[in-house]
Structure 1
Amino acid sequence: MPSTALFMVTLGITLGTLTVTSANHWMTAWLGLELNMISILPVIAKQKHPRSTEAATKYFLTQATASALMLFASTINAWQTGSWNIMQLNNKLSCVLMIAALTMKMGAAPAHFWLPEVMQGATLATALLITTWQKIAPITLLYMISNHTEPIITLSIGLLSILVGGWGGFNQTQLRKMMAYSSIAHLGWTMTVISITPNIALMNIIIYMIMSAPFFMLLMTTASKTLQTTTTAWTHTPTTTIILMLLLLSMAGLPPLTGFTPKLLILDNLVTHKLTLTAATMALLSLLSLTFYLRTTYLLTSTASPTTTQSTTTWRLKPHQNQITAILTPMALFNITILPALLT
């Protein structure tokens, strides 16, 4: 991509998200989301391949539908209450429609159908952008209207997302699709608690972004796109393989890694609000996600010395130093020390 086009696309994506996060009016938020969507379409479709074009088309149609639904919900609210303020979404129908629109924007179940296909048709760098930066705007809007959301709706969406995210990633051999279902499952944990304790929901999605960013960057370094290519990573970069394994276990939520912290806090808050059955169901459903995380971890370490791999070693570029990965990886693995401060 030419430098001028890259600058314009980056500017559009950044300005679109910042417009939404600083908006106080529904029309301003809608404008920011549209700018964000239009800016990322060339990034998804930049590969000269039919799959990339298909992914960009699916992304556009889904996001346009969600934007139209969002505009419809805000218009109904303004018609009934006379206010376009984001914090004053008092109409119940508007609130339900807005949750549906933002659910589709993020890719949470049951409107998750587009996310695995779009991520599979995009590059690893674009998939990283979709799972992290592109979720900031809808999560911010959901956080701002959390006082008006119905807990039963968000809990249902959250439980369904955890189920779909775990079940969908079961038989995946493509790492991008597997991470798409992982994203759906983590969005489910966020949705379950967004109407009860929004701050913990926001912390959960931020920690997921911190965990997934170095994972995708290391996949780009090792040029791994499928589970088969990960089996040859140990002979090429053993240190990177160990870090990938730890990041997967962190995303699975195993203590004492970072991913355990938000899950423990979410379950604790659900039990505090007398939603013990919901908390137990979420903990059991998360075992589905744990299965494919452990499977990938096993494949990464099954060829460790002195075991030899049966797969053909693929051509890989020489690993390059990445300062962002070096900064984010410790945060994604070892910030369990902040747990006492969060509990108080």
Structure 2
Amino acid sequence: MTKFNKKTFFLMIMIMSTVMVMSSNKWLSVWMGMEINMMMTIPFMFQNKSKELSEKIMTYFLTQAMGSIILLTSIMMKTYNLNFMIVMFTTTVSMMIKMGIPPFHMWMPEMLNKMDWITLLIMITLQKINPLIVSSQLTEQNNLLNMMMITAATVGSISGINQLSLSKIMAFSSINHMSWMMMCMAMKNNLWIKYFIVYALITATLCLTFNKNMSFYMNQLNHNMMNMNKMMMLTMMLNLGGIPPLPGFLLKWMTMESMMVSNYFFMMTIMIFSSMVTLLFYMKLMYTNMMLSSTMTKFKLMNHNKQLYLIMLINLITPSILLI
């Protein structure tokens, strides 16, 4: 079996485990689906025999195993009809560990640093689905959810300001966007699903662009990048930051409208300011990239990457269909 076929096989099982969690009505089968998902992610991370990579895989495994143990403990507590609030607290903490929500986030940026872009894309999109589905079932009388939103919004925005690694910037951006999705959950609507789809599309476009240009640090964005690729990356960064009239803004606008209806004014203020801070490091990322001219020849500029442009077009059109 070739390397491509192996990864395709693992990806299919990962998607099937996600479907298993989505369709399950038993906590034990939810735990089993999350365990399968975790084990199928490790082959994506394993690229070569190096001490650094082995350390990252072990960090990921131990962190996810800790979250699974806490989840399994809360399932056992629920079976013996213990205090509802204690069960809710332990289950929420296990999901925070799995998603990398502050204060349990320290493993995530360090592990994703210098990871290849396809693996990073899977980690910050597909790996978030199962914990988000479980968290959406825990919104009833869950006071811990408000703390999760505030810490994710503030830490995800402030920690990304001084970062030079693109992997860490995407990791902290993911933490910040998790707070918006959890806010949608707190208002007991399914807007978080639409938000996640749009976020996944934008992140996929950026990660594939970084992967094509072999860029891992901010100073590498200026080299060997075509002008059209620069414009596409700027559009996606503005989309991720929530600048009108792009789809990323429309979703944040709808979330803020629901927050005002539900009287979440204090939370809305924190979320807006944190979103402005994330926009700061998005623009810092693109400033030098847009100001400096391309190092490639004019004839080379005609060789556009049609696949990435098609993905960007889908990225801009699909959210409009979701919001109808």
Give yes or no for TM over 0.5: yes
2:167 equivalent to 1:182: no
Please report how far the alpha carbon of residue 69 of structure 1 lies from its aligned counterpart in structure 2 after TM superposition: 0.7
**After superposition, what is the alpha-carbon deviation per residue over 1:40-59, rounded to whole angstroms, capped at 9, x for unaligned?**
11211223332221211111
Inter-partner Cα distance in structure 2 for 1:136 and 1:44: 18
Q: Which residue of 2 aligns with 1:205?
A: 196
Distance 1:149 1:57, change over 3 A: farther
Which deviates more, 239-248 or 267-276? 267-276
Please report how far the alpha carbon of residue 79 of structure 1 lies from its aligned counterpart in structure 2 after TM superposition: 1.2
**After superposition, what is the alpha-carbon deviation per residue over 1:291-331, rounded to whole angstroms, capped at 9, x for unaligned?**
101101212201136xx79xxxxxxxx97653xx4454224
2:289 equivalent to 1:292: no
Inter-partner Cα distance in structure 2 for 1:4 and 1:196: 42
Q: Which residue of 2 aligns with 1:76?
A: 77
2:262 equivalent to 1:273: yes
Inter-partner Cα distance in structure 2 for 1:116 and 1:11: 26
Inter-partner Cα distance in structure 1 for 2:146 and 2:35: 28
Q: Which residue of 2 aligns with 1:111?
A: 104
TM-score (norm 1): 0.85
Q: Which residue of 1 aligns with 2:144?
A: 153
- The 3-state SS of whatever aligns with 1:129 is helix
Whether the 8 Å CA contact 1:163–1:185 is kept in 2: the answer is yes
Which sections of structure 2, spanning at least 5 residues, go unmatched?
297-302
> Following superposition of structure 1 onto structure 2, how do residues 214-293 of structure 1 map, counting pairs within 5 Å?
214-233=205-224, 236-293=225-282
Inter-partner Cα distance in structure 1 for 2:318 and 2:12: 32
Inter-partner Cα distance in structure 1 for 2:166 and 2:19: 30
Inter-partner Cα distance in structure 2 for 1:149 and 1:331: 38
Whether the 8 Å CA contact 2:153–2:270 is kept in 1: the answer is no
Inter-partner Cα distance in structure 2 for 1:145 and 1:304: 50
Q: Which residue of 1 aligns with 2:117?
A: 124
Whether the 8 Å CA contact 2:163–2:169 is kept in 1: the answer is yes
Please report how far the alpha carbon of residue 217 of structure 1 lies from its aligned counterpart in structure 2 after TM superposition: 0.7
Which sections of structure 1, spanning at least 5 residues, go unmatched?
82-89, 310-317
Q: Which residue of 2 aligns with 1:86?
A: none
Q: Which residue of 1 aligns with 2:313?
A: 330
Matched letter for residue 66 of structure 2:
T
**After superposition, what is the alpha-carbon deviation per residue over 1:126-158, rounded to whole angstroms, capped at 9, x for unaligned?**
001101111111111222333x251x3212211
Identical positions, percent: 24
Please report how far the alpha carbon of residue 238 of structure 1 lies from its aligned counterpart in structure 2 after TM superposition: 1.3
Inter-partner Cα distance in structure 1 for 2:252 and 2:68: 31
2:85 equivalent to 1:92: yes
Matched letter for residue 104 of structure 1:
I
**After superposition, what is the alpha-carbon deviation per residue over 1:83-129, rounded to whole angstroms, capped at 9, x for unaligned?**
xxxxxxx9221111111111111112221111111211421110011
Inter-partner Cα distance in structure 1 for 2:280 and 2:14: 35
Distance 1:140 1:328, change over 3 A: farther
2:176 equivalent to 1:193: no
Please report how far the alpha carbon of residue 9 of structure 1 lies from its aligned counterpart in structure 2 after TM superposition: 2.3
Matched letter for residue 218 of structure 1:
T
Matched letter for residue 257 of structure 2:
D
Q: CA RMSD in A?
A: 2.3
Q: Which residue of 2 aligns with 1:302?
A: 291
- The 3-state SS of whatever aligns with 1:194 is helix
Alignment size in residue pairs: 317
Whether the 8 Å CA contact 2:14–2:37 is kept in 1: the answer is yes
